[in-house]
């Protein structure tokens, strides 16, 4: 947008759209009463949009999950969640690499959380189970000696050497959110343990560079 308030580029549905929808859905349900109606109105304007990008759709689905929690039959939100499930596709049969992308990149926990939320909202036990399985796998590969060691900024994939530096707070935060949702739905202690592990990452309890402790 230029100084006169005119758009200089074309509309698109990248991460910014997904994050905006996430924020609007959250504000519509959890925000101060003074902004809820406006946030809900703006959410309705964008919930029919779709993105070809998995992260963007995951972020948007988390906003839809907020709306569905308050309005279980919200058609736009349920439709978006169903389209996220289709974009993820069937669980991978690739040995040792169940993740729906060829590499772990950023905010990985958000993808697992979006699947968990979508499975619960849609009443699809298979989708819910896939989301939980992906979260369990992600926690496993991002834990070393009982400490969280999340995917670094450059990403990581099978067959690649994995750096332990340049870890980002968004990774631990996304894992914490996903574990909190999984625990709320299942009551299983392993998710509470994962949440505590993610919280401790912010307090310095993490794997240090070039060290296993």
For 102-144, write each residue's pLDDT tens digit. Answer: 999 999 999 999 999 999 999 999 999 999 999 999 999 999 8
Residue 212 located in a structural domain: yes
**Rounded-to-integer distance, Cα 92 and Cα 90, Å:** 6
Look at residue 1 and tell me if it is in a domain: no
The parent domain of residue 21 ranges over 12-89
The whole-number pLDDT of residue 207 equals 58
pLDDT of 175 reads 97
In a domain, 6, yes or no: no
pLDDT above 70 coverage of the chain, percent: 96
CA-based R_g, the chain, Å: 18
Contacts of 4 (CB under 8 A, 6+ apart): none
Backbone angles phi, psi at 172, to 5 degrees: -65, -40
Confidence (pLDDT) at 205: 76
CA-to-CA distance for 80 and 169, rounded, in angstroms? 27
**How far is 139 from 160, CA to CA, in rounded Å?**
19
Per the structure, how many domains does the chain have? 2
Give the global pTM: 0.91
Residue 161, pLDDT score: 81
Token reading at 38: 């406006």
CB 22 within 8 A of CB 30: no
Are 134 and 213 in a shared domain? yes
């Amino acid at each position: 947008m230029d100084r006169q308030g005119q758009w200089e580029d074309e509309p698109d549905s990248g991460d910014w759209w997904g994050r905006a929808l996430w924020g609007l859905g959250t504000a519509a349900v959890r925000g101060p009463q003074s902004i809820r109606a406006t946030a809900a109105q703006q959410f309705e304007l964008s919930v029919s949009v779709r993105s070809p990008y998995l992260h963007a759709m995951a972020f948007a689905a988390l906003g839809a999950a907020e709306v569905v929690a308050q309005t279980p039959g919200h058609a736009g939100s349920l439709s978006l969640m169903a389209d996220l499930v289709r974009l993820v596709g069937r669980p991978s049969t690739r040995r040792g690499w169940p993740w729906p992308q060829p590499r772990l990149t950023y905010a990985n926990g958000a993808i697992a959380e979006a699947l968990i939320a979508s499975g619960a909202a849609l009443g699809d036990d298979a989708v819910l189970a896939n989301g939980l399985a992906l979260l369990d796998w992600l926690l496993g590969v991002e834990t070393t000696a009982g400490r969280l060691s999340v995917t670094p900024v450059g990403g990581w994939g099978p067959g690649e050497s994995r750096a332990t530096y340049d870890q980002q707070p968004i990774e631990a935060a996304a894992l914490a959110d996903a574990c909190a949702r999984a625990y709320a739905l299942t009551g299983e202690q392993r998710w509470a343990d994962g949440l505590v592990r993610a919280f401790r990452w912010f307090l310095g309890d993490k794997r240090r560079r070039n060290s296993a402790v």
